[in-house]
Amino acid sequence: MAHRHARTARRSAATAIGALVLAGLPAAAAADSAPVAGNAPSAARTLGADRPSPPLLGALQRDLGLTPAQASERLVNEAEAGTRAGRLRLALGDRFAGAWVRGDTSRELTVATTGAEDVPAIEAQGAKAVVVERTLAGLEAAKAKLDAAADRVKTLDTPVWYVDVPKNRVVVQATSQEAGAAFVEAAGLEGEDVGIRMTQERPRLLQDITGGDAFYIEDSARCSVGFSVTGGEQPGFVTAGHCGRPGDTTTGYDRTAQGTFRASTFPGEDMAWVATGDQWRPTPDVKAQDGQEVQVTGSVQALVGASVCRSGSTTGWHCGTIEQHGTSVSYPQGRVDGLTRTTVCAEPGDSGGPYVAGAQAQGVTSGGSGDCTGGGTTFYQPVNPVLADFGLTLTTAAAQVTTPAPQDGTAQEWAAGRVYEAGDTVTRDGVRYQCLQTHQAQGAWAPAGTPALWQRL
């Protein structure tokens, strides 16, 4: 018999697949306010946001101060906004400067552009238009200069830097004005609009006690299971890279033999995967409040401003919002790039645990600052790069096992199991499509039937 947790709590799965009814740009207007959960659009159905689990809704109500109706509406609006933002990103091209959601129910989608001529097209899609000076590509290029400078200079006093999309600028978090200014100068960005945010917080890794299911490394350190995956036919799970090195053995929550770290990257990135024995069966489950579980249906990346919930054995099940993607964090143990910054609280021991937006897997806890009494900041390693780099398939409620296609970055026939970035182009049955939202493809998400994720060219 497969060795598993005793699972007495009710599971909640959202697996419905639907078709998005949203015209291309700029012909059909979608200027009405975002739909509420009672009339969920197909994007929400496709991404599993129309039937959220009670544990997810309960945590959103508690941590974001929402009513049950607001929590349900928020998840639907966020799923629908992600598709609209993806279409606008493709339409604006080089002028695109980012997108984000705001409001208690994420009703307001804002899309930024450097071209005033784009405002009518943006508003026709029911989004608020903001004309800014810098493109998203330009901001990311400026941040890349900071990344390069961090290879040459110490960043102990400038531990965090990122692109702040709503403010259309790059931000350096520093312990002093002098330290921030020196880092900016070292990157060759002196005189450019780089914000320096003063703080005494220093992110640290959260590795002492687990989030989600506990596992032990070499019978000593303890970390947490992120998401179940398969590598070909090999079952396992992803977690934080700082939890262990390739070859380290693990035992499970009950101290029985479990598996071995197959791959691990830290610093640079904070990702790892553990190959487990046959007695450990991968599931789409994530531990939530009061012994309940939620199930993931995919890995579609959420927008800035969207709600996200985290599981951790130290502090339990908590929610917050996404503040920035692509954040660089300089821990005492080394620098990590490409993290997502959130308002979710965490404490030491929550490392490696999963982050979920609606029914979509987002990432695994890397580190943070503060606590769940006074509040804090956390950073997670996005899950899609983990899947792509290690050739893994996320275990979802659809229970489809596929072998990931090579991540060679070239246009090719669409393939289930491959991680696609927003903007990637594929062919399927002789038709070309362009990706709207970053995700790992699943068999049920072929482009022709999933306009929430793909736009026909």
Structure-block tokens of residue 299: 């890995």
**Left if phi > 0, otherwise alpha if psi is -120 to 50, otherwise beta: which for 247?**
left
Q: Tell me which range, 93-107, 250-264, 302-316, is most confidently predicted by mean pLDDT.
A: 93-107
- Which of 154, 183, 198 marks a domain boundary? 198
- Residues 227, 337, single domain; the answer is yes
- Residues 175, 119, single domain; the answer is no
Residue 393's CATH number: 2.40.10.10
In a domain, 300, yes or no: yes
In a domain, 429, yes or no: yes
CA angle 262, 265, 266 (to 5 degrees): 135
- Which of 131, 155, 170 marks a domain boundary? 131
Does residue 307 have an active-site annotation? no
What is residue 381's predicted lDDT score, i.e. its pLDDT? 98
- Give the count of domains, the chain: 4
CB 182 within 8 A of CB 174: no
DSSP-derived secondary structure letter, 76: H
- 3-class secondary-structure state, position 96: strand
Label the pairing between strands 234-239 and 431-435. Answer: unpaired
This prediction's pTM: 0.82
Cis-peptide into 26, omega within 30 deg: yes
- Residues 126, 83, single domain; the answer is yes
293-310 pLDDT, tens digit each: 899 999 999 999 999 999
In a domain, 435, yes or no: yes
CB atoms within 10 A of CB 21: 11
CA angle 160, 164, 167 (to 5 degrees): 140
- Residues 365, 218, single domain; the answer is yes
What is residue 293's predicted lDDT score, i.e. its pLDDT? 87
- Which of 87, 109, 131 marks a domain boundary? 131
Give the burial class of 187: count Cβ atoms within 10 A of its Cβ; 0-12 exposed, 13-18 middle, 19 or more buried: buried
Residue 187's CATH number: 3.30.300.50
- Residues 273, 378, single domain; the answer is yes
Does residue 220 have an active-site annotation? no
- Residues 265, 381, single domain; the answer is yes
Lowest mean pLDDT among 27-31, 250-254, 329-333: 27-31
Cis-peptide into 203, omega within 30 deg: no
- Residues 161, 224, single domain; the answer is no
Of 445, 429, 330, nearest to 397 by C-alpha is 445
Q: How many residues does the chain have?
A: 457
* Residue 163, pLDDT above cutoff 60: yes
CB atoms within 10 A of CB 147: 16
415-437 pLDDT, tens digit each: 999 999 999 999 999 999 999 99
- Residues 238, 374, single domain; the answer is yes
In a domain, 378, yes or no: yes
Does residue 439 have an active-site annotation? no
Lowest mean pLDDT among 16-20, 175-179, 252-256: 16-20
In a domain, 451, yes or no: yes
In a domain, 447, yes or no: yes
In a domain, 260, yes or no: yes
In a domain, 109, yes or no: yes
Exactly one of 12, 53, 351, 366 is catalytic; which is it?
351
- Residues 330, 353, single domain; the answer is yes
Q: For residue 188, what pLDDT band results from cuts at 50, 70 and 90?
A: very high
Q: For residue 407, what pLDDT band results from cuts at 50, 70 and 90?
A: low
Of 315, 299, 278, 398, nearest to 357 by C-alpha is 299
CA 411, CA 449: separation in Å to the nearest integer? 20
Exactly one of 118, 270, 337, 350 is catalytic; which is it?
270
Mean pLDDT on 351-376: 94
- Domain encompassing residue 40: 23-53+61-131
Of 321, 337, 363, nearest to 162 by C-alpha is 337
- Residues 114, 158, single domain; the answer is no
Phi, psi of 377 (to 5 degrees): -125, 140
What is residue 76's predicted lDDT score, i.e. its pLDDT? 95
Of 126, 148, 139, 128, nearest to 41 by C-alpha is 126
- Residues 225, 249, single domain; the answer is yes
- Residues 385, 442, single domain; the answer is no
CA 69, CA 211: separation in Å to the nearest integer? 28
What is residue 21's predicted lDDT score, i.e. its pLDDT? 20
- 3-class secondary-structure state, position 354: strand
Average pLDDT of the chain, as a whole number:
86
Lowest mean pLDDT among 8-12, 321-325, 358-362: 8-12
Exactly one of 224, 242, 285, 337 is catalytic; which is it?
242
